[in-house]
Amino acid sequence: MKETPARAAAVTVEHVSKRFRTPEEATHTLKERVLHPLHGRGHREFQALRDISFSVREGEFFGIVGRNGSGKSTLLKCLAGIYGVDAGRMYKRGRMSTFIELGVGFNPDLAAWDNVVLNGIMMGLTPAEAKARYRRIIEFAELEDFQELKLKNYSSGMHVRLAFSVAVQVDADILLIDEVLAVGDAAFQQKCFDVFNRMRDEGKTILFVTHDMGAIVRYCHRAMLLEHGDMVAIGSPQDVGDRYLELNFTAQEQMHAEGERAGDGKARIIDAWLADSGGERQTQALQGERCTYHAIVEFYETVANPSLTVAFRNDHGENVFILTTIIEHDRTGTHQAGERLHYAVSFDNILGPGRYEPLLNLAHRGSGHDLIDRWERQSLVVRGSAATGGVVDVEGAWTIDQPTTDHPVGGAV
Protein backbone atom coordinates (compact mmCIF):
# COMPACT_ATOMS: atom_id res chain seq x y z
CA MET A 1 0.00 0.00 0.00
CA LYS A 2 1.34 3.41 -0.97
CA GLU A 3 1.50 6.29 1.49
CA THR A 4 -1.28 8.82 1.01
CA PRO A 5 0.04 12.27 0.06
CA ALA A 6 -0.52 14.87 2.78
CA ARG A 7 -1.99 17.63 0.58
CA ALA A 8 -5.10 19.78 0.32
CA ALA A 9 -8.35 18.29 -0.95
CA ALA A 10 -8.72 18.31 -4.74
CA VAL A 11 -12.23 16.79 -4.67
CA THR A 12 -14.74 17.10 -1.85
CA VAL A 13 -18.14 15.39 -1.77
CA GLU A 14 -20.55 16.32 1.02
CA HIS A 15 -23.78 14.39 1.67
CA VAL A 16 -24.51 13.79 -2.02
CA SER A 17 -27.67 11.90 -2.99
CA LYS A 18 -29.02 11.09 -6.45
CA ARG A 19 -32.19 9.30 -7.49
CA PHE A 20 -33.76 8.45 -10.82
CA ARG A 21 -37.44 8.25 -11.71
CA THR A 22 -38.49 5.64 -14.27
CA PRO A 23 -42.03 5.22 -15.67
CA GLU A 24 -43.78 2.05 -14.62
CA GLU A 25 -45.37 1.68 -18.07
CA ALA A 26 -43.76 3.73 -20.81
CA THR A 27 -45.60 5.01 -23.91
CA HIS A 28 -43.60 5.25 -27.12
CA THR A 29 -45.99 6.67 -29.73
CA LEU A 30 -48.57 9.45 -30.00
CA LYS A 31 -51.23 6.81 -30.75
CA GLU A 32 -50.51 5.04 -27.45
CA ARG A 33 -50.69 8.36 -25.62
CA VAL A 34 -54.11 9.19 -27.17
CA LEU A 35 -55.65 5.74 -26.69
CA HIS A 36 -54.23 5.24 -23.19
CA PRO A 37 -53.86 8.71 -21.64
CA LEU A 38 -53.34 7.37 -18.13
CA HIS A 39 -50.55 4.97 -19.06
CA GLY A 40 -47.07 6.01 -18.04
CA ARG A 41 -48.26 8.34 -15.30
CA GLY A 42 -46.84 6.20 -12.48
CA HIS A 43 -43.12 6.30 -11.70
CA ARG A 44 -40.71 4.28 -9.68
CA GLU A 45 -37.80 5.85 -7.85
CA PHE A 46 -34.33 4.34 -7.84
CA GLN A 47 -31.89 5.69 -5.26
CA ALA A 48 -28.52 5.57 -7.01
CA LEU A 49 -26.55 7.44 -4.31
CA ARG A 50 -27.47 8.02 -0.69
CA ASP A 51 -25.69 10.58 1.54
CA ILE A 52 -22.17 10.05 0.14
CA SER A 53 -19.35 12.05 1.76
CA PHE A 54 -15.60 11.78 1.15
CA SER A 55 -12.61 13.83 0.00
CA VAL A 56 -9.67 13.10 -2.27
CA ARG A 57 -6.40 14.91 -1.67
CA GLU A 58 -4.29 16.48 -4.41
CA GLY A 59 -2.05 13.87 -5.99
CA GLU A 60 -4.02 10.94 -4.56
CA PHE A 61 -4.92 7.86 -6.60
CA PHE A 62 -8.36 7.01 -5.22
CA GLY A 63 -10.17 3.78 -6.12
CA ILE A 64 -13.94 3.34 -6.22
CA VAL A 65 -15.27 -0.23 -6.26
CA GLY A 66 -18.63 -1.91 -6.00
CA ARG A 67 -20.88 -4.41 -7.66
CA ASN A 68 -22.92 -3.57 -10.76
CA GLY A 69 -25.61 -1.07 -9.84
CA SER A 70 -23.80 0.17 -6.74
CA GLY A 71 -23.61 3.78 -7.97
CA LYS A 72 -19.94 4.02 -9.04
CA SER A 73 -20.51 5.40 -12.54
CA THR A 74 -23.34 7.64 -11.33
CA LEU A 75 -20.98 9.19 -8.80
CA LEU A 76 -18.36 9.94 -11.46
CA LYS A 77 -21.00 11.42 -13.76
CA CYS A 78 -22.19 13.68 -10.97
CA LEU A 79 -18.61 14.82 -10.38
CA ALA A 80 -18.19 15.43 -14.12
CA GLY A 81 -21.36 17.53 -14.26
CA ILE A 82 -23.20 15.08 -16.51
CA TYR A 83 -25.83 14.51 -13.81
CA GLY A 84 -27.11 16.99 -11.30
CA VAL A 85 -27.48 15.92 -7.68
CA ASP A 86 -30.66 15.93 -5.62
CA ALA A 87 -28.91 16.82 -2.38
CA GLY A 88 -25.43 17.67 -1.16
CA ARG A 89 -22.49 19.57 -2.58
CA MET A 90 -19.34 18.79 -4.56
CA TYR A 91 -16.18 20.85 -4.86
CA LYS A 92 -13.12 20.51 -7.08
CA ARG A 93 -9.80 22.33 -7.37
CA GLY A 94 -8.33 22.34 -10.87
CA ARG A 95 -9.22 21.32 -14.40
CA MET A 96 -11.01 17.98 -14.70
CA SER A 97 -10.80 15.43 -17.53
CA THR A 98 -13.27 12.54 -17.80
CA PHE A 99 -12.60 9.04 -19.12
CA ILE A 100 -16.17 7.83 -18.71
CA GLU A 101 -17.87 7.60 -22.10
CA LEU A 102 -15.09 8.16 -24.62
CA GLY A 103 -16.09 9.80 -27.87
CA VAL A 104 -19.23 11.54 -26.65
CA GLY A 105 -19.60 14.64 -28.83
CA PHE A 106 -17.81 13.24 -31.89
CA ASN A 107 -19.53 13.95 -35.22
CA PRO A 108 -19.47 10.83 -37.43
CA ASP A 109 -19.74 12.94 -40.60
CA LEU A 110 -16.52 14.85 -39.88
CA ALA A 111 -12.93 13.71 -40.28
CA ALA A 112 -10.35 13.37 -37.50
CA TRP A 113 -9.06 16.98 -37.65
CA ASP A 114 -12.46 18.60 -37.05
CA ASN A 115 -13.43 16.11 -34.35
CA VAL A 116 -10.13 16.46 -32.49
CA VAL A 117 -10.36 20.25 -32.45
CA LEU A 118 -14.05 20.35 -31.46
CA ASN A 119 -13.66 17.66 -28.78
CA GLY A 120 -10.53 19.30 -27.39
CA ILE A 121 -12.36 22.61 -27.06
CA MET A 122 -15.26 20.90 -25.28
CA MET A 123 -12.77 19.37 -22.83
CA GLY A 124 -11.26 22.75 -21.95
CA LEU A 125 -8.51 23.45 -24.51
CA THR A 126 -8.41 26.68 -26.46
CA PRO A 127 -8.79 26.37 -30.27
CA ALA A 128 -5.07 27.13 -30.66
CA GLU A 129 -4.11 24.47 -28.10
CA ALA A 130 -6.35 21.85 -29.73
CA LYS A 131 -4.87 22.52 -33.18
CA ALA A 132 -1.30 22.51 -31.86
CA ARG A 133 -1.79 19.10 -30.25
CA TYR A 134 -3.48 17.45 -33.21
CA ARG A 135 -0.30 15.77 -34.47
CA ARG A 136 0.48 14.25 -31.07
CA ILE A 137 -3.10 13.02 -30.72
CA ILE A 138 -3.11 11.29 -34.11
CA GLU A 139 0.29 9.70 -33.53
CA PHE A 140 -0.68 8.41 -30.10
CA ALA A 141 -3.90 6.93 -31.53
CA GLU A 142 -1.87 5.35 -34.36
CA LEU A 143 -4.29 6.73 -36.96
CA GLU A 144 -1.90 8.59 -39.28
CA ASP A 145 -3.17 6.63 -42.30
CA PHE A 146 -6.85 7.32 -41.57
CA GLN A 147 -6.94 11.10 -41.00
CA GLU A 148 -9.02 11.87 -44.07
CA LEU A 149 -11.71 9.28 -43.32
CA LYS A 150 -14.96 10.38 -41.76
CA LEU A 151 -15.45 8.91 -38.30
CA LYS A 152 -18.48 6.91 -39.44
CA ASN A 153 -16.02 4.79 -41.43
CA TYR A 154 -13.83 4.12 -38.37
CA SER A 155 -13.99 0.82 -36.55
CA SER A 156 -15.17 0.94 -32.94
CA GLY A 157 -11.58 0.41 -31.77
CA MET A 158 -10.27 3.31 -33.89
CA HIS A 159 -13.07 5.54 -32.62
CA VAL A 160 -12.28 4.85 -28.95
CA ARG A 161 -8.52 5.18 -29.47
CA LEU A 162 -8.98 8.62 -30.99
CA ALA A 163 -11.24 9.71 -28.13
CA PHE A 164 -8.79 8.38 -25.53
CA SER A 165 -5.91 10.20 -27.22
CA VAL A 166 -7.80 13.50 -27.12
CA ALA A 167 -8.63 13.04 -23.44
CA VAL A 168 -5.02 12.40 -22.37
CA GLN A 169 -3.84 15.55 -24.16
CA VAL A 170 -5.95 17.76 -21.91
CA ASP A 171 -3.77 19.26 -19.18
CA ALA A 172 -6.10 18.16 -16.41
CA ASP A 173 -5.36 18.22 -12.70
CA ILE A 174 -8.12 15.72 -11.88
CA LEU A 175 -8.86 12.56 -13.88
CA LEU A 176 -12.12 10.59 -13.64
CA ILE A 177 -11.56 7.08 -15.02
CA ASP A 178 -14.39 4.58 -15.39
CA GLU A 179 -13.19 1.15 -16.61
CA VAL A 180 -11.68 2.47 -19.85
CA LEU A 181 -8.18 0.99 -19.65
CA ALA A 182 -9.06 -1.91 -22.00
CA VAL A 183 -8.73 0.24 -25.14
CA GLY A 184 -7.51 -1.32 -28.40
CA ASP A 185 -5.02 -4.17 -28.73
CA ALA A 186 -2.48 -5.30 -26.14
CA ALA A 187 0.22 -2.87 -27.31
CA PHE A 188 -2.13 0.12 -27.16
CA GLN A 189 -3.44 -0.95 -23.75
CA GLN A 190 0.14 -0.87 -22.48
CA LYS A 191 0.47 2.68 -23.80
CA CYS A 192 -2.67 3.61 -21.85
CA PHE A 193 -1.25 2.12 -18.64
CA ASP A 194 2.02 3.98 -19.22
CA VAL A 195 0.11 7.26 -19.57
CA PHE A 196 -1.77 6.75 -16.30
CA ASN A 197 1.40 5.70 -14.51
CA ARG A 198 3.08 8.89 -15.73
CA MET A 199 0.13 11.03 -14.63
CA ARG A 200 0.15 9.40 -11.21
CA ASP A 201 3.89 10.05 -10.87
CA GLU A 202 3.33 13.69 -11.89
CA GLY A 203 0.96 14.12 -8.95
CA LYS A 204 -2.34 14.19 -10.82
CA THR A 205 -5.45 13.45 -8.77
CA ILE A 206 -7.11 10.30 -10.09
CA LEU A 207 -10.50 8.78 -9.24
CA PHE A 208 -10.53 5.26 -10.63
CA VAL A 209 -13.60 3.01 -10.95
CA THR A 210 -12.86 -0.67 -11.57
CA HIS A 211 -13.74 -4.28 -10.69
CA ASP A 212 -10.06 -5.28 -10.79
CA MET A 213 -8.97 -5.66 -7.17
CA GLY A 214 -5.38 -6.27 -8.25
CA ALA A 215 -5.29 -2.83 -9.90
CA ILE A 216 -6.83 -1.24 -6.80
CA VAL A 217 -4.15 -2.71 -4.52
CA ARG A 218 -1.36 -2.00 -7.00
CA TYR A 219 -2.11 1.63 -7.88
CA CYS A 220 -4.35 3.25 -5.28
CA HIS A 221 -3.48 5.13 -2.11
CA ARG A 222 -7.01 4.66 -0.73
CA ALA A 223 -10.26 3.12 -1.91
CA MET A 224 -14.01 3.31 -1.27
CA LEU A 225 -16.66 0.60 -1.54
CA LEU A 226 -20.22 1.36 -2.64
CA GLU A 227 -23.20 -0.98 -2.34
CA HIS A 228 -26.74 -0.10 -3.49
CA GLY A 229 -25.89 3.60 -3.39
CA ASP A 230 -24.43 3.54 0.14
CA MET A 231 -20.79 3.98 1.13
CA VAL A 232 -19.93 0.71 2.88
CA ALA A 233 -16.21 1.18 3.50
CA ILE A 234 -13.36 3.61 2.90
CA GLY A 235 -9.70 3.10 3.74
CA SER A 236 -6.73 1.03 2.62
CA PRO A 237 -7.05 -0.66 -0.80
CA GLN A 238 -6.36 -4.08 0.73
CA ASP A 239 -9.11 -3.79 3.35
CA VAL A 240 -11.62 -2.41 0.86
CA GLY A 241 -10.73 -5.12 -1.67
CA ASP A 242 -11.26 -7.85 0.93
CA ARG A 243 -14.63 -6.36 1.88
CA TYR A 244 -15.63 -6.19 -1.79
CA LEU A 245 -14.87 -9.89 -2.27
CA GLU A 246 -16.79 -10.80 0.88
CA LEU A 247 -19.76 -8.79 -0.35
CA ASN A 248 -19.70 -10.48 -3.74
CA PHE A 249 -19.32 -14.03 -2.55
CA THR A 250 -21.05 -14.60 0.76
CA ALA A 251 -21.49 -18.03 2.26
CA GLN A 252 -25.01 -18.24 0.83
CA GLU A 253 -23.66 -17.66 -2.68
CA GLN A 254 -20.87 -20.21 -2.48
CA MET A 255 -22.88 -23.23 -3.64
CA HIS A 256 -24.34 -23.43 -7.13
CA ALA A 257 -27.30 -25.60 -8.03
CA GLU A 258 -26.11 -29.15 -8.53
CA GLY A 259 -27.76 -29.69 -11.91
CA GLU A 260 -27.30 -32.77 -14.08
CA ARG A 261 -24.24 -34.88 -13.29
CA ALA A 262 -21.81 -36.04 -15.98
CA GLY A 263 -20.04 -39.41 -16.26
CA ASP A 264 -21.12 -43.03 -16.08
CA GLY A 265 -22.21 -42.78 -12.42
CA LYS A 266 -20.22 -45.76 -11.12
CA ALA A 267 -19.04 -43.43 -8.34
CA ARG A 268 -19.91 -39.93 -7.20
CA ILE A 269 -18.05 -37.09 -5.54
CA ILE A 270 -20.30 -36.47 -2.56
CA ASP A 271 -18.32 -33.67 -0.91
CA ALA A 272 -15.37 -31.40 -1.65
CA TRP A 273 -13.87 -28.50 0.28
CA LEU A 274 -10.84 -26.33 0.85
CA ALA A 275 -9.11 -26.41 4.25
CA ASP A 276 -6.62 -23.95 5.70
CA SER A 277 -3.31 -24.83 7.32
CA GLY A 278 -5.18 -25.59 10.55
CA GLY A 279 -7.50 -28.07 8.85
CA GLU A 280 -10.59 -25.84 9.06
CA ARG A 281 -13.03 -25.86 6.12
CA GLN A 282 -12.95 -22.49 4.34
CA THR A 283 -14.69 -20.64 1.51
CA GLN A 284 -11.91 -18.04 1.44
CA ALA A 285 -8.17 -18.52 1.26
CA LEU A 286 -5.29 -16.16 1.95
CA GLN A 287 -2.76 -15.76 -0.82
CA GLY A 288 0.51 -17.55 0.00
CA GLU A 289 -1.13 -19.79 2.64
CA ARG A 290 -0.62 -23.54 2.67
CA CYS A 291 -3.97 -25.13 1.75
CA THR A 292 -5.41 -28.59 1.30
CA TYR A 293 -8.21 -29.51 -1.06
CA HIS A 294 -10.33 -32.50 0.01
CA ALA A 295 -12.83 -34.69 -1.82
CA ILE A 296 -14.96 -37.65 -0.70
CA VAL A 297 -15.89 -40.24 -3.34
CA GLU A 298 -18.59 -42.89 -2.86
CA PHE A 299 -18.57 -46.00 -5.10
CA TYR A 300 -21.73 -47.65 -6.46
CA GLU A 301 -19.98 -50.26 -8.62
CA THR A 302 -16.50 -51.80 -8.72
CA VAL A 303 -13.95 -49.30 -10.06
CA ALA A 304 -10.24 -49.98 -10.56
CA ASN A 305 -7.65 -47.23 -10.09
CA PRO A 306 -9.86 -44.13 -10.35
CA SER A 307 -8.03 -40.85 -10.91
CA LEU A 308 -9.06 -37.44 -9.59
CA THR A 309 -8.16 -34.09 -11.18
CA VAL A 310 -8.88 -30.65 -9.70
CA ALA A 311 -8.71 -27.61 -12.00
CA PHE A 312 -8.94 -24.12 -10.50
CA ARG A 313 -10.73 -21.89 -13.02
CA ASN A 314 -10.97 -18.09 -12.99
CA ASP A 315 -13.98 -15.94 -13.92
CA HIS A 316 -13.13 -16.33 -17.62
CA GLY A 317 -13.39 -20.13 -17.39
CA GLU A 318 -9.63 -20.56 -17.84
CA ASN A 319 -7.71 -23.24 -15.96
CA VAL A 320 -5.22 -21.32 -13.81
CA PHE A 321 -3.59 -24.47 -12.47
CA ILE A 322 -4.40 -28.17 -12.25
CA LEU A 323 -3.70 -30.82 -9.60
CA THR A 324 -4.07 -34.49 -10.52
CA THR A 325 -3.44 -37.95 -9.04
CA ILE A 326 -2.44 -39.34 -12.45
CA ILE A 327 1.23 -38.39 -12.17
CA GLU A 328 2.08 -39.48 -8.59
CA HIS A 329 -0.66 -42.08 -7.95
CA ASP A 330 -1.20 -43.96 -11.18
CA ARG A 331 -2.70 -46.92 -9.29
CA THR A 332 -5.15 -46.03 -6.54
CA GLY A 333 -6.54 -49.54 -5.95
CA THR A 334 -9.78 -51.34 -6.72
CA HIS A 335 -12.87 -50.16 -4.85
CA GLN A 336 -16.16 -51.96 -4.36
CA ALA A 337 -19.74 -50.71 -4.19
CA GLY A 338 -20.42 -49.08 -0.82
CA GLU A 339 -16.83 -47.97 -0.21
CA ARG A 340 -15.76 -44.38 0.26
CA LEU A 341 -12.40 -42.85 -0.60
CA HIS A 342 -10.89 -39.63 0.77
CA TYR A 343 -8.66 -37.67 -1.60
CA ALA A 344 -6.54 -34.77 -0.27
CA VAL A 345 -3.91 -32.63 -1.99
CA SER A 346 -1.88 -29.89 -0.31
CA PHE A 347 -0.37 -26.89 -2.10
CA ASP A 348 0.87 -23.35 -1.57
CA ASN A 349 -1.85 -20.92 -2.65
CA ILE A 350 -0.26 -18.87 -5.43
CA LEU A 351 -3.57 -17.70 -6.90
CA GLY A 352 -4.05 -13.97 -7.35
CA PRO A 353 -6.93 -12.28 -5.48
CA GLY A 354 -10.34 -13.03 -6.99
CA ARG A 355 -13.00 -15.71 -7.35
CA TYR A 356 -12.26 -19.25 -8.54
CA GLU A 357 -14.35 -22.33 -9.29
CA PRO A 358 -12.72 -25.71 -8.66
CA LEU A 359 -13.71 -28.30 -11.29
CA LEU A 360 -13.24 -31.93 -10.19
CA ASN A 361 -13.12 -34.81 -12.67
CA LEU A 362 -13.23 -38.42 -11.45
CA ALA A 363 -12.17 -40.78 -14.24
CA HIS A 364 -11.28 -44.40 -15.07
CA ARG A 365 -7.60 -45.13 -15.50
CA GLY A 366 -6.69 -46.09 -19.05
CA SER A 367 -6.96 -44.77 -22.58
CA GLY A 368 -8.96 -41.54 -22.65
CA HIS A 369 -9.65 -41.63 -18.89
CA ASP A 370 -13.41 -42.13 -19.33
CA LEU A 371 -15.35 -39.86 -17.02
CA ILE A 372 -17.05 -41.27 -13.93
CA ASP A 373 -18.22 -38.02 -12.35
CA ARG A 374 -17.77 -34.27 -12.53
CA TRP A 375 -18.18 -31.84 -9.63
CA GLU A 376 -18.44 -28.07 -10.13
CA ARG A 377 -20.70 -26.85 -7.33
CA GLN A 378 -18.40 -24.49 -5.44
CA SER A 379 -16.77 -21.07 -5.58
CA LEU A 380 -13.91 -19.91 -3.44
CA VAL A 381 -12.42 -16.47 -2.91
CA VAL A 382 -8.71 -15.72 -2.65
CA ARG A 383 -7.69 -12.68 -0.63
CA GLY A 384 -4.27 -11.13 -1.23
CA SER A 385 -1.95 -9.27 1.11
CA ALA A 386 0.65 -8.30 -1.49
CA ALA A 387 -0.87 -8.82 -4.93
CA THR A 388 1.31 -8.10 -7.97
CA GLY A 389 -1.59 -8.18 -10.43
CA GLY A 390 -0.85 -11.50 -12.12
CA VAL A 391 -3.12 -14.50 -12.48
CA VAL A 392 -0.80 -16.23 -10.02
CA ASP A 393 1.71 -14.66 -7.64
CA VAL A 394 4.90 -16.66 -7.35
CA GLU A 395 7.36 -15.86 -4.59
CA GLY A 396 10.76 -15.04 -6.00
CA ALA A 397 14.19 -14.42 -4.48
CA TRP A 398 15.80 -11.36 -6.13
CA THR A 399 19.45 -10.33 -6.07
CA ILE A 400 20.61 -6.90 -7.24
CA ASP A 401 24.32 -6.22 -7.72
CA GLN A 402 26.83 -4.75 -10.11
CA PRO A 403 27.54 -6.88 -13.22
CA THR A 404 30.88 -8.68 -13.37
CA THR A 405 32.61 -10.88 -15.93
CA ASP A 406 30.54 -13.73 -14.52
CA HIS A 407 27.36 -11.96 -15.72
CA PRO A 408 27.32 -11.90 -19.57
CA VAL A 409 25.96 -8.68 -21.05
CA GLY A 410 24.61 -7.90 -24.51
CA GLY A 411 23.28 -11.33 -25.42
CA ALA A 412 26.52 -13.25 -24.85
CA VAL A 413 26.10 -16.96 -24.36
pLDDT digits (tens, 9 = 90+) for 260-305: 577 888 999 998 999 988 888 888 888 888 999 999 999 999 998 8
Query: What is the per-residue pLDDT for 183?
Result: 57
> Helices 186-201 and 156-168 meet at what angle, rounded to 10?
10
Query: What is the per-residue pLDDT for 69?
Result: 83
Distance CA 362, CA 372 (A): 5
Q: How many CA atoms lie within 13 A of 68 on its CB side?
A: 0
Mean pLDDT of 78-100: 88
* Percent of the chain topping pLDDT 70: 80
Distance CA 340, CA 258 (A): 20
Q: Which of 356, 370, 364 is nearest to 317 (CA)?
A: 356
List pLDDT tens digits, range 190-247: 777 788 788 888 888 999 998 777 778 778 899 999 998 999 999 998 888 878 877 7
List pLDDT tens digits, range 8-62: 789 999 999 999 877 666 666 776 666 666 565 666 788 999 999 999 999 999 9
Fold assignment, 254-383: Coagulation Factor XIII; Chain A, domain 1 (2.70.50)
pTM above 0.85, yes or no: no
Query: What is the per-residue pLDDT for 369?
Result: 54
Distance CA 210, CA 220 (A): 11
CATH of domain 60-82+95-248: 3.40.50.300
Q: What b-and-e string marks burial along 147-162, b requiring 16 or more CB atoms within 10 Å of the CB?
A: eeeebeebeeebbbbb
Distance CA 33, CA 39 (A): 7
Rg (CA), the chain: 27
Domain residue extents for the chain? 60-82+95-248, 254-383
